[in-house]
Structure 1
Amino acid sequence: MARMIQSGLASFVVRSMETPLASITEVLGIQPTGVIPRGTVLRSGRVQECNVWCIDSDRMDNTEDDRTGTVALRWLLDACRPVAGRVPLLPADCETCIWWTADSDSAQGGFVLPAELMAQVAALGVDLYTTVNLDDRTDAEREANA
């Protein structure tokens, strides 16, 4: 059994202290999948300190056609294709990034970002933050749960 990234989720996020969420949508030219206005009381009881505008993927598993573990990141980059070239037009108080979280069935969590995905990230002009959640079970524990 190959050990690799099995699933993941990805988000394109814009955070802003002053720029209204509607202005972010106008500049980027696409609708967000979620927004959190500054001052919102979160489930944790904390108050949201900045405006958050985002496009989120659902959690996506590998497919027969794509075993790289980057299905969610691929989906996000395709959804954000219209944003390319628009990020620099955002006001100076806006911070942008992509978050990609992946789940590995390995204790090492290695992965490959294909060149075409890196080119799409570069075209957006944003940083990519990645977290890989590793499987720390032993082979015997994995087999017992299979």
Structure 2
Amino acid sequence: MIQSGMATFSVQSAETSPEQITTVLGVEPTRVDLMGTKTRSGRVRQVNQWMVHVDELANSAADQTGTGALRQLLVLLRPAAGKVHQLPKDCCARIWWSAYSDSTQGGFVLLADISKAIADLGVDMFATAYLDEGNDTRSEHT
């Protein structure tokens, strides 16, 4: 069963500035990485990256789906619903959701309201479920 997860909404662009993305979506990013800066691996970033990130959240008594971080991300992105398609053509927007399971099968359930919120944004979600062995190093998508 999924025990926790983290979620990121990212927009990558070679021409559109992070400020323009913020204006179109009506949401403030939690992080911006500018084209031309170095990545952690030492490479030079080829695109601007605008992100809203929610750190790892564990299951709660009220929600045992492991989707708490994804749900929180979607709440933060509510003002952007229906606006993603207004981004310039050079922008690529998507949701990244990582979930940590205590089961080798790693299955999960996306409730209908979460699926609807993703559809309302008009973006694809890339999801990965990991077996949480308690000693892994977790990092956000960049």
TM-score (normalised: structure 1): 0.89
Q: Is the 8 A contact 1:9 1:60 kept in 2?
A: yes
Which portions of structure 1, spanning 4 or more consecutive aligned residues, are displaced by more than 6 angstroms?
A: none
Alignment of structure 1 residues 67-106 onto 2, 5 Å: 67-106=64-103
RMSD: 1.2
Stretches of structure 2 that go unaligned for 5 or more consecutive residues are 135-142
| Partners of 1:90 and 1:115 in 2: CA distance | 26
Query: 1:84 is matched by which residue type in structure 2?
Result: A
Specify which of 88, 111, 116 is matched with residue 114 of structure 1: 111
Report the CA distance between 1:58 and its aligned residue.
1.0
What residue identity is the alignment partner of 1:100? W
Give the letter for the 2:85 counterpart. Answer: P
How far apart, CA to CA, are the structure 2 residues paired with 1:58 and 1:41?
23
Gaps in structure 1 of 5+ consecutive residues: 138-146
Aligned partner of 2:33 in structure 1 is 36
Match of 1:124 in 2: 121
* Structure with max Cα Rg: 1
| Count of matched residue positions in the alignment of Structure 1 and Structure 2 | 134
Match among 19, 24, 47 for residue 22 of structure 1: 19
Deviations 1:76-96 (A, max 9, x none): 001100000110110000000
Matched-pair contact (CA < 8 Å) for 1:42–1:48? yes
Which residue identity does 2:128 align to in structure 1? T
Structure with greater helix share of residues:
1
CA distance in 2, matches of 1:81, 1:17: 25
Looking at structure 2, the residues matched to 108 and 77 of structure 1 have their Cα atoms a distance apart, in angstroms, of 26
Match of 2:53 in 1: 56
CA distances 1:88-143 after superposition (whole Å, capped 9, x unpaired): 11000000000000000000001110011000000000001001112479xxxxxx
- How far, CA to CA, are the matches of 1:134 and 1:109 in structure 2? 7
Measured in 2, the distance between the counterparts of 1:127 and 1:45 equals: 29
Q: Percent identity?
A: 52
Shift of residue 43 of structure 1? Answer: 2.1
